[in-house]
């Protein structure tokens, strides 16, 4: 091991720790929220939405995270410049691009976890919720998700 190099790099690592931790937490929260939405749309059996979400999940699970980071950093500004011709692209911090890439990667994996959890709940639970006059949203929030 190169101990002098590690000793010289340690202050920079400690200085970057708060931004790394906040990126990880925000990407996790974004991934959980989008993953739950993707899993719900996939479980609803709506033809277009279910297939589209399946493709999105397969894409973001299949592409390596480093590639997602590079693609988001270099392609999101091009898309923004194409859609909004007068937009200031250089003012968007790289934190946003990393959050988008890591959040979508996390969403794809969380979607699979949530989908398997939703499909493991017995259909009788939903029927029981309907029998006590709950709406589908109430049943999802009060019975299925917990």
pLDDT in tens, 38-86: 998 998 888 899 999 999 999 999 999 999 999 999 888 888 888 888 7
Q: Phi-psi category of 133—alpha, beta or left, where left has phi over 0 and alpha has psi -120 to 50?
A: left
Lowest mean pLDDT among 13-22, 53-62, 129-138: 129-138
pLDDT for residue 5 is more than 80: yes
pLDDT band at 98 (very low <50, low <70, confident <90, very high): very high
Find the Cα–Cα–Cα–Cα dihedral 116, 121, 123, 124, rounded to 10°: 170
**pTM confidence score:** 0.82
Number of structural domains (the chain) is 1
The answer to whether the CB of 97 falls within 8 A of the CB of 76 is yes
Q: SS3 breakdown of the chain: % helix, strand, coil, rounded to 5?
A: 85, 0, 15
pLDDT band at 99 (very low <50, low <70, confident <90, very high): very high
Residues in the chain: 146
Q: Phi-psi category of 19—alpha, beta or left, where left has phi over 0 and alpha has psi -120 to 50?
A: alpha
Element (H, E) at 39: helix 3-43
Residue 113 lies in a domain: yes
Residue 95 lies in a domain: yes
Residue 25 lies in a domain: yes
Q: Which domain holds residue 41?
A: 18-120
pLDDT for residue 117 is more than 90: no
Find the Cα–Cα–Cα–Cα dihedral 41, 43, 44, 47, rounded to 10°: 80
Residue 15 has what DSSP assignment? H
Residue 38 lies in a domain: yes
The answer to whether the CB of 39 falls within 8 A of the CB of 64 is no
More confidently predicted of 123 and 68: 68
Report which of 109, 116, 121 is spatially closest to residue 146, judged by C-alpha positions: 121
Residue 136 lies in a domain: no
Residue 144 lies in a domain: no
The pLDDT mean for the chain works out to 89
For residue 75, what is the domain's CATH number?
Answer: 1.10.3720.10
Residue 134 lies in a domain: no
């Amino acid at each position: 091991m190169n101990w002098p190099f590690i000793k010289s790099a340690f202050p920079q690592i400690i200085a970057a720790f708060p931004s790394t931790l906040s990126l990880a937490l925000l990407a996790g929260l974004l991934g959980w929220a989008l993953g739950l939405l993707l899993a719900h749309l996939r479980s609803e059996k709506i033809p277009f939405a279910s297939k589209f979400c399946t493709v999105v999940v397969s894409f973001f699970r299949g592409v390596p995270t480093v590639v997602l980071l590079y693609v988001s950093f270099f392609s999101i500004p091009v898309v923004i410049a194409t859609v909004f011709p007068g937009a200031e692209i250089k003012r968007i911090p790289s934190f946003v691009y990393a959050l988008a890439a890591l959040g979508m990667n996390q969403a794809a994996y969380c979607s699979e976890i949530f989908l398997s959890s939703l499909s493991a709940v017995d259909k009788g639970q939903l029927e029981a919720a309907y029998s006590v006059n709950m709406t589908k949203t109430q049943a999802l929030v009060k019975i299925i998700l917990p």
